[in-house]
Amino acid sequence: MSAKLERLSQTLRDVFGDTLQSLVVDCGEVTIEVAAADYLQVARTLRDHADLHFEQLVDISGLDYSAFGNAPWSGRRFASAAHLTSVRHNWRLRLRAFADDDEFPVLDSVVDVWPSANWYERESFDLYGIMYSGHPDLRRILTDYGFVGHPFRKDFPVSGYVEMRYDPEQGRVVYQPVTIEPRENTPRIVREENYGDVGNG
Amino acid sequence: MAEIRNYTINFGPQHPSAHGVLRLVLELDGEVVERADPHIGLLHRGTEKLAETRTWVQSVPYMDRLDYVSMMCNEHAYCMAIEKLLGVQVPERAQYIRVMFDEVTRILNHLLNIGTHALDIGAMTMVLYTFREREDLMDVYEAVSGARMHAAYYRPGGVYRDLPDRMPKYEVNRFKNEKTVRELNANREGSLLDFLEDFTNRFPTYCDEYETLLTDNRIWKQRTVGIGVVSPEQALAWGFTGPMLRGSGIAWDLRKKQPYEVYDRVDFDIPIGKNGDCYDRYLCRMEEMRQSNRIIKQCIDWLRKNPGPVITDNHKVAPPAREDMKSNMEELIHHFKLFTEGIHVPKGEVYAAVEHPKGEFGVYAVSDGANKPYRLKLRAPGFAHLAAMDDIARGHMIADVVAIIGTMDVVFGEIDR
């Protein structure tokens, strides 16, 4: 681990203490995980603390862990991972929080901390159905007007539920149930640990 | 007294200045924009979801179709993410090839941006000039990958094949006689590197031509100076990257700050703006093209002197040579496993970012150890830029909205994904 990552993780431990549920350093990246209740407060500190100073939010990604590893998932299902950059210190961080309720996932919105979160949270809401409380304008963004469901959830089929076509009799575009059959050319396989390890290449 | 009311109009999705399928709902007070609400998603193809159902390598061509004017940079970020997870080393020659093609791509992208931006706000000639040069670079793409745009040339572990020794040539037909064809083929007699070197020698003159047309042009300046001003603080808060951030005076470039591949071994400068308006961003892009030209020259020099492998010899990642596959049992198995099942990427998550011509293009990949990604999130620079449309456009005239869209360099392939 480089000295820089060491310094960043030490600062994070000092500043947040027990608030951190986990701190992982992997592939040259630091990931911290916090409880949904602490999420907003941690975000604010990350931006304002002089030794951290993450002034830029680069990305927020929704995550659905329900099919992870092709095995039943025991933990909570939905999470939101934010990628932060500090231009001053030139380092990056991933901040993840799991939503407490799988049926109705809610997280605090960080729009007040980083305005760029606005569209990223709308996207995550659209695709995963994660609610961001305190968001000023939580509308769908990428899917069609009047779309039903959250298409990136693991239980949503790739081909979707409805398809659109022009109906010459009615003289307009209509929706109907999909007629194509889902197919999988290459099955999804999780092998044993270290299978296909590039170290043996 | 006359009744005064605000108008709400639709700008796009079929408007030629909307750069694709942007539906912009503008609330107007006379000609002044009160509120701008971009509706995106008209080109949403669900790339991230599709990638979850395909093996890691099968998704490489999808990356071309994200930002369809800077194809290879998208592939680069995706391949880097896989390589980071796998922990494979890319051969040095492949790294130089990647850097060279990233810069070719940057020139391609900026040429399109400056040409169409000028076209949008009334300077017709620019687009004709820039597309002339784009054609040469497209030929470079074609020579190396077989496709003018959607190259699928970068692969996890390196690039698909080494640079070709000869360029495709024009042939005589009923529109072009022998003399014309001979002139057109004059710089295509040598290898791809010769052709590209010829281009880099010509390119600074072309840049001067563009500058003559635009930089001191009164109309161009009236349309861009002081339009869409973004302060450095705003640029950071809105998540701007690339020329949108540098135009506001923040010297942040991943090629310098978090160098990947061989960017720390090539010599180049980062231009930054001062006022953060459309004109400064135009100047930044112009200078970036000249700097890219410098980088390409250095890469050509290095590539001439240093032959070598261009893809990793680790056959758990990259397929073995055809000959080896036919004669060696072990390689046959590798080949079979790679093409039926694909690479198995170890469990973990990674965020790989490159300095894409438009800004920071990032790939957040989560793997659960399967032969397919568990989750792939693509961080498109244009998405963050367009999100700030409302704040930037408010208070501007409706005609300035076109200038702002142009300066943001929006491409819907990447924004809608």
Specify the pLDDT at position B80: 92
Segment B53-91, tens digit of pLDDT: 989 999 999 999 988 888 999 999 999 999 998 888 899
Which percentage of chain B shows pLDDT scores above 90? 36
Specify the pLDDT at position B369: 85
Nearest by CB to B383, which of A31, A81, A119? A119
The H or E element that residue B28 is part of is: strand B23-29
Specify the pLDDT at position A2: 82
B355 vs A contacts (CB less than 8 Å): none
Nearest in space to B363 (alpha carbons), one of B110, B161, B78: B78
Q: What is the DSSP string of A6-70?
A: HHHHHHHHHHHGGGEEEEEEETTEEEEEE-TTTHHHHHHHHHH-TTT---EEEEEEEEE-TTGGG
Specify the pLDDT at position A61: 92
The H or E element that residue A174 is part of is: strand A172-177
Segment B147-157, tens digit of pLDDT: 888 988 999 98
Say whether B254 sits in a helix, a strand or coil. helix
pTM (predicted TM-score): 0.91
The H or E element that residue A159 is part of is: none
Q: Kindly tell me the number of DSSP H helices and DSSP E strands found in chain A.
A: 3, 9
Angle between helices A3-16 and A39-48 (to 10 degrees): 130
Distance (Å, rounded) from C-alpha B389 to C-alpha B142?
Answer: 36
The residue of B244, B364, B414 whose CB has the most chain A CBs within 10 angstroms, and thus the best one to mutate to test that interface, is B364
Residue B343 has pLDDT above 60, yes or no: yes
A87 interface with B at CB cutoff 8 Å: yes
Q: What would the two tokens of residue B57 be?
A: 């390598």
Residue found under tokens 């025991």 = A74
Segment B229-251, tens digit of pLDDT: 999 998 999 989 999 999 898 98
Compute the nearest-CA separation of B284 from chain A (Å). Answer: 19
Specify the pLDDT at position B189: 87
Nearest in space to B413 (alpha carbons), one of B115, B62, B51: B62
Nearest in space to B150 (alpha carbons), one of B64, B208, B48: B64
CB B300, CB B312: distance < 8 Å: no
Segment B180-225, tens digit of pLDDT: 999 888 888 888 999 999 999 999 999 999 999 888 888 899 889 9
Compute the nearest-CA separation of B93 from chain A (Å). Answer: 20
CB B333, CB B326: distance < 8 Å: no
Q: Do B416 and A81 touch (CB under 8 A)?
A: no
ipTM of this complex: 0.89
Nearest by CB to B370, which of A92, A140, A188? A188
Q: How many domains does chain B have?
A: 1
Q: How many domains does chain A have?
A: 1
Q: What is the pLDDT along chain A (201 residues), one digit of tens a residue?
A: 588 888 888 888 888 888 888 888 888 889 999 998 889 989 999 888 888 889 899 999 999 998 888 778 888 889 999 999 998 888 899 999 998 888 899 999 999 999 999 999 999 999 999 999 989 988 889 988 888 889 999 888 888 899 989 999 999 999 999 998 888 888 888 887 777 666 655
**Which range marks the domain in which residue B391 is found?**
44-416
Nearest in space to B191 (alpha carbons), one of B300, B309, B321, B302: B300
The number of C-alpha atoms within 13 Å of A25 and in the hemisphere containing its C-beta is 13
Return the CATH number at B123: 1.10.645.10
B387 vs A contacts (CB less than 8 Å): 116, 118-119
Return the CATH number at A81: 3.30.460.80
**Mean pLDDT of chain B, nearest integer:** 89
B390 vs A contacts (CB less than 8 Å): none
Specify the pLDDT at position A1: 56
Q: What is the DSSP string of B55-87?
A: -TGGGHHHHHTTSTTSHHHHHHHHHHHHHHHHT
CB pairs < 8 Å spanning A and B: 142
Residue found under tokens 């150890």 = B369
Q: What is the DSSP string of B300-347?
A: HHHHHH----SB-S-TTTSPPPHHHHHH-HHHHHHHHHHHHT-PPPPS
Q: Do B349 and A31 touch (CB under 8 A)?
A: yes
Residue found under tokens 């005076």 = B249
CA angle B317, B321, B322 (to 5 degrees): 125
Q: Enter the DSSP assignment of B263.
A: G
B369 vs A contacts (CB less than 8 Å): 69, 190-191, 193, 195
Distance (Å, rounded) from C-alpha B343 to C-alpha A107?
Answer: 35
CA A174 to chain CA mean position, Å: 33
**Which range marks the domain in which residue A58 is found?**
3-200
